[in-house]
Amino acid sequence: MDHFLYRDGVLHAEDVALPDIAAAVGTPFYVYSTATLTRHYRLFAEALSPLPHLVCFAVKSLSNVAVLRTLGDLGAGMDVVSGGEYLRARAAGVPGNRIVFSGVGKTREEMRLALTCGVRQLNVESEPELRALSEVATSLGVTCPITIRINPDVDARTHEKIATGLKENKFGVPLDRARAVYADAARLPGLRVVGIDVHIGSQLTDLAPFAQAYAKVADLTLALRADGHSIERLDLGGGLGIPYTRGNDAPPLPTDYGDLVKRSVGHLGCEIEIEPGRLISGNAGLLVSRVIYVKAGEERDFLILDAAMNDLIRPAMYGAHHDIVPVTEPAAGADPATFDVVGPVCETGDTFARARAMTALAEGDLVAFRSAGAYGAVMASEYNTRPLVPEVLVRGDQFAVIRARPTLEEILERDRLPPWL
């Protein structure tokens, strides 16, 4: 469910008409719904109750500080994977004891930042990282709470570029080495083992891979406790998918996921951490664009938009689908039309959809890409020296720009000529 609905023939974000935002901000722009973000966070929190838990929003999916503040004020923790994301979470007012630091390539500088400014735990991904973290923590005179990420060799049945739980993936330590690595961690100074971490992929639409992975986590918990380790937390990662099309084939609900967690690991007496990103932010955002031209080709018609692959890379990178709808609601019985929906960037990969059935559109019309809140603005660039797409947050009948579109002058001012030119 989201809060983007037609009202009096015009698509709204909560109580704000999208054409009003377009008139004030220009196009393209991202717009996020506070009500949808709030609802999706609360669904996860309720699904895990009464187990002790912390829902840590995956900052990589949507990292704007205003969004993080919105979720942090609800009690959310944050899952970060870089020093920059850590500082974003802190700038949003999230305390260190609600920030989990993940990522396969943490630098010593990032470790030092987290340990100096406060962190709930670091999820360690490898034996070299374990030793580096021990050195940093010892040099600072602190003890760092850690989990170790386990690679359970489970097929997440998702796109190959976002699968992370198979043995050929770069993430985590092999399950068959887990007990040895935990033994090493217990011997290293400056570290305190507090739990286990696992994350098998993103955009999962089936609970079976979660069940396989969590069964292995449960068995490992018992084995590690028998080895003398204190396993207090289980970080079960994220990955639950969202519907990118309107239809009956919807992914499992957070309530279904919560029931699975309770069945799989609820008997272990651990605090549960999860790291949802897409399911909280994905359907909480739209990308709004304007039609520049309708071009009649020899074999097909092209809908040329002012949004491009640099604004929303997912279709070009993953072949991902987004529903694209007119901002003005089509009249009943409106003439159908089929378009290749493309942007103005000078490569064929700048294509959002091929042979997409839509209603007839004209130059100047607004369209909205649904389910664009996750991995949209965070992956945007200024390719072709196109200004970075702005972000807008709506609450009720109010809206505010939470990341402005830079001017071309501001973009050019970042470049520096060397003294010999």
Positions annotated as catalytic residues are 346
CB neighbours (10 Å) of residue 382? 13
ω into residue 50 within 30 of 0, thus cis? yes
User: Angle, to 10 degrees, between the axis of helix 254-265 and the axis of helix 34-48?
Assistant: 30
Q: How far apart are CA 247 and CA 255, in angstroms?
A: 20
Contacts of 397 by beta carbon, 8 Å cutoff, 6+ apart: 14, 15, 16
Residue 5: CA count within 13 A, CB half-sphere: 10
Place of tokens 């991202």: 30
Residue among 114, 214, 199, 129 at smallest CA distance from 165? 199
Residue among 94, 100, 54 at smallest CA distance from 79? 100
Q: Which helix (H) or strand (E) holds 206?
A: none
ω into residue 243 within 30 of 0, thus cis? no
Q: Residue-wise over 383-393: b if at least 16 C-beta within 10 A, else e?
A: eeebbbbbbbb
Q: Computed from CA positions of residues 265, 165, 278, 196, in that sequence, does the dihedral angle turn out positive or negative?
A: positive
Q: Residue-wise over 136-167: b if at least 16 C-beta within 10 A, else e?
A: bbeeeeeebbbbbbbbbbbebebeeeebbbbe
105 exposure class (CB count in 10 Å sphere: 0-12, 13-18, 19+): exposed
Q: How far apart are CA 223 and CA 209, in angstroms?
A: 22
Place of tokens 């940093």: 136
Q: How far apart are CA 42 and CA 100, in angstroms?
A: 19
Residue among 392, 402, 408 at smallest CA distance from 20? 392
